[in-house]
Amino acid sequence: MKAQLNNYRQAPRKVRLITELVKGKPADKAQAMLTALVKRGALPIKKLLDSAIANSGVKAGDLIIKNATVDKGVVIKRWMPRAMGRAFPIHKHTSKVVIELIKKEGLKSNV
């Protein structure tokens, strides 16, 4: 059970700070943490977690976040005009976020 967010327009270094907080936690507690967290990346990560929970078809209380990885996405390149006709590059970094969920041990399967 996983969900993926591609080309999220925030640097991976900043998004990793958020995913490290929720890694290994129960999904329902992670949702509450992300709702209360005052960081720009918290809302998209919460929406991604909600999507992963919906993909699993299991209650949020029965799931644990097995892994949350943030990888480097595409780099959008722009140019900043500088003095005397020069230009300096600007690199706008993006992130690829993957959240994997597993069932808690000791629960009966409906399958």
Question: What is the average pLDDT score of the chain?
Answer: 94
Give the model confidence (pLDDT) of 11-26 as tens digits: 999 999 999 999 999 9
Percent of the chain predicted with pLDDT > 90 = 92
Residue 66: what pLDDT? 96
DSSP 61-89: GGEEEEEEEEEEEEEEEEEEE-GGG-EEE
- Tell me the C-alpha distance between 27 and 49, whole Å: 8
Select the CATH number that applies to the domain covering 2-103 from these four: 3.30.70.890, 3.30.70.580, 3.90.470.10, 2.60.40.10.
3.90.470.10
Residue 105: what pLDDT? 83
Residue 81: pLDDT over 60: yes
Token digits of residue 3: 């969900």
84-108 mean pLDDT: 92
pTM for the full model? 0.88
Q: Are 98 and 52 in contact (CB under 8 A)?
A: no
